[in-house]
Structure 1
Amino acid sequence: MSASAAIPAQPRSHPNMVLGMLLLVYIFNFVDRQILAILAAPIQQNLQLSDGQMGLLGGVAFALLYSTLAVPLAALADRTSRSWVITISLVLWSGFTALCGLAQGFWHIFLARLGVGIGEAGGVAPSYALIGDYFPSERRATALSIYSLGIPLGSAIGVLAGGYIAATVDWRLAFFVVGLGGVVIAPLFKLLVKDRPRVPASSVPASPDRATVPDMPGFRATAGLLARKPSFWFLSFGAACSSMLGYGIAFWLPSLLQRSFGFDLVQASQFFGALLLIGGIAGVLGGGWLGDRLGHRDRAFYSWLPGIAFFIGAPLFALGISSSSAWMAFVLFLIPQALAYVWLGPVLSAIQHLVKPAERSTASALFLLINNLIGLGGGIYALGALSEFLVPYYGDEALRYSMLYSLALYGVAALLMGLAGRSLRRDWVEE
């Protein structure tokens, strides 16, 4: 019996179906993350929490286990089933999101957010890898940018729905609704999304129905390979610096709108939700399209394009934050909000190309470990803690100045992305 007969081709999902379902799950992922930001004010009032404690809930409580557990779960996904790991993770993080609605104090909600982080640890890196399996190299940045639409879409839905529910009913109900919604779609996801069979290339002839695997390198081998590639470090720490600012602004902007611009909860949610939808969608899609178009000519553009976006975005964000008019601030925020998302498609695609297909989940998880532990874990807390520190100097405007000072992170991110270009040309793994 031939090798091909011994391992029959299994049915696989249509690439666009896979991408659509992964996008849906990612939307729930960011609804669960961003809903805490718009609910910060009523949660702080009800549970008597400080800005520093809210920064811990939005950052460290989530990022601590989310970042560290992503690595072993990605390795498990590479060796077993990526779709099963995503499905189980979706159920876990959605269930813990619902439990946030039962919190009676800081430690209750802190532990629930830890649980959300545990669940979401298994969602993103295997999703990147599935997209890598289903889409060819020349379309991968675009596909990853479409998947990354889950960030602005999920964030906007979380902000808009969370703000409305909290204002009309109760902040606890908002957690129950979005948490149970994720549990409901989990069986549908598993039904529609199939893993591409990954078998040793030496055993099975090449086939469009299989994602062939030359070998199954261990975690140490993949980590060692990436550690020797300068582009991995530049991309990871550049993205982490930008994420510190991006997550920090995304979490604290609704509070800034209420404190410095006099918005109520619903007005803040509408302002920020519209900003995320218009600016976020334009930036994500534009970054993916430009990344594929320019990166096809020169691999360095996969990092140079994000660097240019960060460099231009910082002063524009400063103008918006400093504005005295809320609606002028909206106009000024639109362009930098779009630029803040440009990096997603190009950088995520570049990370996929630093390793062989069998190692994609693990490589993505190692990138996310650095990006999220520093960016998500540090950014939200750092802006909140800096705001508290600046209160004696700026009073009610302390949060505004905390954001302004933090814009220096975009300058560091732009520099690191610029340095990544040359080494990315050498480190790129062609398929």
Structure 2
Amino acid sequence: MTDGHPRLSNPWLVLTTLLFIYIFNFADRFLITGLVGPIKAEFAVGDGTMGLLMGPAFVLLYVLLGVPLARLADRGSRIRIIVGGCLLWSVATAATGLAKGVVALALARAAVGIGEAAFVAPAYSLLSDYFRAERRGLAFAILGLATYFGQMAGQAGGPAIAAHFGDWRLAFIFMGCCGVPLALAALALVREPPREQQGQAQQVEQIAFLDLVAILIRTPAYLLLMFGFALGALSGVAFGVWGPELLTRIHALDPVDVKSAFAINFGVSGLLGMLAFGALSDRFARSGMHWPVRLSALAIASATLAVLAVLWMKTFTAAMFVAVPAGLLGGGWSVGLLATLQYILPARFRASATALFIAVTTIGGYFVAPWITGALSEALGDDAASLRMALTLVIPIGFAGAALAWIASAKVEAARANLNGARGEAKAVANESAQR
């Protein structure tokens, strides 16, 4: 104990632990996208149904429970909430491999969503108390590497396991079992710190949920960051979950080879892009926190253009060549938006406001994107050409996300001033509500 507070964990140990948990978070999420072929064949379903399993089945409870869990995280132990979620989604992923029908598969995916709802907002809130504002860009970029490591593990590792053992179910069981020891290790290694600039954090009065929503709605930068992120995610996730299947169909190649190459080419370049963006974000942030958002806007627009080019390459080799700049440009844009989000949010409701942000962006990225792409593909023919056309219609939405992010960059400091004075405004909102 020091100064009445427990001794904290090493920040880099905390970051590393959360990174490994987040890798399996994304691996379990993306595993189904690497196994579309065998699952479609076994259950005799089309792209529309697979889109529902990849998107809405997973996202619905993820979104509904994300905010209540974050509210708990604002008052209690964030690491315990993260550990509980990791245990749940790991067991649910293993259960996916035991599903005997589409309904059972959907229920298992829903349980994965419940568990994963406990990670993102508490994790970013926890790291914000372990890292200073001018170092969070790099910390968030390192945590964001999980997106690509997890995608590679799910989209390449899953099919490889299925091909080796001749059973797609074993891939889910293996991935699910890996998460349990990680959760237990996190519980032992990571200590809960006092909330940033709050002293006795547990005694801080929490703003009522509806009052919090009212405050956030009155903050233009928060809304612009949120919807810009949502549209950028919709574009990127649509390609992330359906791209491997498209390339397999278009180029008539072995699914394991194609999906491994896709995961590696986009994954490695995305990893490098994430790290580079984190470093650039921290450097530019010294001149003002509007710069990370502008970098994100430029990256979203450039990545959207590059991904469209990948769709229409005539050969798989050419597609993988263009994958490198697409991954580099798309790899880190979320860092600038998330770092700026944490900058404008006060500690006393950071996790709750982040969870609301994640709820909306998840609806765009992981609910709408897989489902609408699959539905369009099935409506247009349920084949290679229809899937390419569906993606060609969905991916340009990223340009709108870039525009909203750019507009948000001019409103960052006003948002920080507004939200950090939100305690008084919350009382005013509550009084106004009571009078009505």
TMscore range, shorter length: over 0.9
What residue ranges of structure 1 are gaps of 5+ in the alignment?
205-210
Choose the corresponding residue for 2:104, options 108, 125, 137.
108
Give, in whole Å, the separation in 2 of the partners of 1:199 and 1:252: 40
1:84–1:403 CA distance, 2 compared to 1 (3 A): same
2:386 equivalent to 1:405: no
**Corresponding residue for 1:316?**
306
Cα pair 2:56 2:366 within 8 Å, conserved: yes
Deviation at 1:262, TM superposition (A): 1.3
Opposite residue 111 of structure 1, the aligned amino acid is L
Opposite residue 399 of structure 2, the aligned amino acid is G
Give, in whole Å, the separation in 2 of the partners of 1:105 and 1:54: 13
Matches within 5 A, 1:178-193: 178-193=175-190
Cα pair 1:238 1:412 within 8 Å, conserved: yes
Cα pair 1:167 1:265 within 8 Å, conserved: no
Give, in whole Å, the separation in 2 of the partners of 1:240 and 1:398: 25
**Corresponding residue for 2:332?**
342
Choose the corresponding residue for 1:275, options 265, 275, 280.
265
1:319–1:213 CA distance, 2 compared to 1 (3 A): farther
Choose the corresponding residue for 2:240, options 231, 246, 250.
250
What residue ranges of structure 2 are gaps of 5+ in the alignment?
421-436
Choose the corresponding residue for 1:145, options 129, 141, 146.
141
Deviations 1:16-64 (A, max 9, x none): 0000000010001000011110011111111112100000011001111
**Corresponding residue for 1:78?**
74
**Corresponding residue for 1:175?**
172
2:122 equivalent to 1:134: no
Question: Taking every aligned residue pair, what percent have the same amino acid on both sides?
Answer: 34
Cα pair 1:200 1:212 within 8 Å, conserved: no
**Corresponding residue for 2:59?**
63
Deviations 1:143-197 (A, max 9, x none): 1111111100111111221011111211100000000110122111100011103
1:71–1:212 CA distance, 2 compared to 1 (3 A): closer
Choose the corresponding residue for 1:119, options 100, 115, 119.
115
Cα pair 1:156 1:274 within 8 Å, conserved: yes
Deviation at 1:227, TM superposition (A): 1.6
Q: Say which is worse superposed, 191-200 or 122-131, in terms of deviation.
A: 191-200
Choose the corresponding residue for 1:387, options 358, 364, 377.
377
**Corresponding residue for 1:208?**
none
SS of aligned partner of 1:9: coil
Give the aligned CA root-mean-square deviation in angstroms.
2.0
Deviation at 1:378, TM superposition (A): 0.2
Deviations 1:280-302 (A, max 9, x none): 10221122112121122122222
Give, in whole Å, the separation in 2 of the partners of 1:354 and 1:307: 18
Give, in whole Å, the separation in 2 of the partners of 1:119 and 1:265: 29
**Corresponding residue for 2:226?**
236
2:276 equivalent to 1:286: yes
Cα pair 2:79 2:191 within 8 Å, conserved: yes
Deviations 1:363-410 (A, max 9, x none): 110110110012210001111111112228xx5311112111222211
Q: Matched residue pairs, number?
A: 418
SS of aligned partner of 1:149: helix
**Corresponding residue for 1:304?**
294
Cα pair 2:234 2:398 within 8 Å, conserved: no
**Corresponding residue for 2:161?**
165
Opposite residue 279 of structure 1, the aligned amino acid is S
Give, in whole Å, the separation in 1 of the partners of 2:389 and 2:273: 26
2:307 equivalent to 1:327: no
SS of aligned partner of 1:117: helix
Give, in whole Å, the separation in 2 of the partners of 1:124 and 1:323: 35
Deviation at 1:218, TM superposition (A): 3.5
Give, in whole Å, the separation in 2 of the partners of 1:410 and 1:359: 29
SS of aligned partner of 1:353: helix
Give, in whole Å, the separation in 1 of the partners of 2:77 and 2:189: 14
Opposite residue 184 of structure 1, the aligned amino acid is P
Give, in whole Å, the separation in 1 of the partners of 2:18 and 2:214: 29
**Corresponding residue for 1:207?**
none
Opposite residue 178 of structure 1, the aligned amino acid is M
